[in-house]
Amino acid sequence: MLGTFLGGYLADRWGKRDKRWYVRIALWGLMLSLPLSYYTLLASEPLYVVLAYTPAHILNTLYLGPCIAICHTLVAPNMRASASAVLLFVINMIGLGLGPLVVGALSDAYIPLFGEENLRYAMLTALTMGTSGVFFFWMAHRTLLGDISRTEAALTGMTAKS
């Protein structure tokens, strides 16, 4: 909850000057969370794991508020509810649906390699796969202003025809 709220707050505040902050917040949140996330999976001292996990999780959830806001910016007002539903469906089906399934399959496959540490390395593999989000947020950052301009032009054209 804190990461989602904070991400939305920062994006709204900094996005007034430059809309790319909506993607930058998500990008930087993910990048800053990665070292802490890796630490939580590799460390053995419970207190330090919890101390690293808390900011890692907050940083890792900064993306949600700004992503929903950008989703709303890139569609017509009458499509916002549907666009949000599709976005949240995809996030939940991939992250909450496929994520545990992939980690479980990897964990089973890793038993011969890592023995009792199989789950740790399965989660590390999933985390490493998730770092692809950095690339996609970076790509979105590069094209966002043009995407917003095209959406505004299309919406203006639709309004003029009405």
* pLDDT tens per residue, range 118-138: 999 999 999 999 899 899 999
Alpha carbons within 13 angstroms on the beta-carbon side of residue 116 total 0
Q: What is the pTM of this model?
A: 0.84
What does pLDDT average to over the chain? Answer: 93
Q: Is 158 exposed, middle or buried (0-12, 13-18, 19+ CB in 10 A)?
A: exposed
DSSP count for the chain of H helices, then E strands: 9, 0
C-alpha distances in Å from residue 26, one per residue of 46, 68, 76: 28, 11, 23
- Please determine, for residue 8, whether its predicted confidence score (pLDDT) is greater than 80: yes
- Please determine, for residue 160, whether its predicted confidence score (pLDDT) is greater than 70: no
- Please determine, for residue 159, whether its predicted confidence score (pLDDT) is greater than 70: no
